[in-house]
Amino acid sequence: MAVGLSEPVDILPVAGIKLASVAAGIKKNGKDDMVVFIIDEHASCAASFTQNAFCAAPVTLAKKNLKQAPPRALLINSGNANAGTGDTGMQNAVQSCQWLAQELNCSAEQVLPFSTGVIGEQLPMDVMQSGIKQVVQNPLEDNWLLAAKGIMTTDTVAKAVSRTLIIDGSKVTLSGIAKGSGMICPNMATMLSFIATDANIEENYLQQCLSDAVAISFNAITVDGDTSTNDACVLIATAKAGNKPLNNSSANAGTFVTALNEICQQLAQTIVRDAEGATKYVTVSVQLAKSIVEAKNVAYTIAHSPLVKTALFASDPNWGRILAAVGRAGIEQLDISCINIFLGDVCIVRNGGVDADYQEEKGQAVMNEEEISITVELHRGDDAATIWTSDLSHEYVRINSEYRS
pLDDT per residue as tens digits for the range 55-110: 899 999 999 999 999 999 999 999 999 999 999 999 999 999 999 999 999 999 99
pLDDT over 50 (residue 341) = yes
How many Cα atoms are found within 13 Å in the side-chain-facing hemisphere of 124? 17
Q: Name the band, by pLDDT with cuts 50, 70 and 90, for residue 154.
A: confident
Write down the catalytic residue from 116, 190, 238, 301: 190
Helix axes 253-273, 203-215, angle to 10 degrees: 40
Please give the share of the chain, as a percent, with pLDDT higher than 70: 95
Give the max Cα distance, the chain: 71
Counting every residue written for the chain, the total comes to 405
Say yes or no: 386 and 261 in one domain: no
Domain boundary among 273, 305, 332: 273
Say yes or no: 290 and 268 in one domain: no
For the whole model, what pTM was predicted? 0.92
Say yes or no: 267 and 365 in one domain: no
Sign of the alpha-carbon torsion through 395, 397, 403, 405: negative
Rounded to an integer, what distance in angstroms lies between the CA atom of residue 378 and that of residue 100? Answer: 53
The torsion defined by the Cα of 391, 274, 266 and 322, in degrees rounded to 10, comes to 0
pLDDT over 70 (residue 226) = no
How confident is the model at residue 188, as a pLDDT?
Answer: 46
Strand partners, 80: 116, 118
Q: Name the band, by pLDDT with cuts 50, 70 and 90, for residue 2.
A: confident
CATH classification of the domain holding 221: 3.60.70.12
Say yes or no: 249 and 312 in one domain: no
Classify residue 207 as exposed, middle or buried by CB count within 10 Å of its CB (0-12, 13-18, 19+). middle
Lowest mean pLDDT among 217-226, 275-284, 340-349: 217-226
Catalytic site includes residue 279 = no
Say yes or no: 240 and 187 in one domain: yes
Rounded to an integer, what distance in angstroms lies between the CA atom of residue 214 and that of residue 45? Answer: 15
Q: Name the band, by pLDDT with cuts 50, 70 and 90, for residue 378.
A: very high
pLDDT over 70 (residue 183) = no
Please indicate whether residue 116 or residue 224 has the higher confidence score (pLDDT): 116
Say yes or no: 222 and 147 in one domain: yes
How confident is the model at residue 91, as a pLDDT?
Answer: 98
Rounded to an integer, what distance in angstroms lies between the CA atom of residue 83 and that of residue 93? Answer: 10
Rounded to an integer, what distance in angstroms lies between the CA atom of residue 303 and that of residue 185? Answer: 10
Write the single-letter amino acid at 328: R
How confident is the model at residue 118, as a pLDDT?
Answer: 86
The mean predicted confidence, pLDDT, of the chain is 92
How confident is the model at residue 19, as a pLDDT?
Answer: 98
Rounded to an integer, what distance in angstroms lies between the CA atom of residue 233 and that of residue 213? Answer: 10
Say yes or no: 133 and 235 in one domain: yes
Say yes or no: 241 and 257 in one domain: yes
How many Cα atoms are found within 13 Å in the side-chain-facing hemisphere of 75? 33
- Distance of CA 190 to CAs 50, 119, 211, 212, Å? 9, 11, 18, 19
| Domain carrying residue 65 | 17-273
Alpha helices in 50-108 (DSSP H): 57-68, 86-104
How confident is the model at residue 184, as a pLDDT?
Answer: 59
Q: Does residue 70 sit within a domain?
A: yes
Please give the share of the chain, as a percent, with pLDDT higher than 90: 81
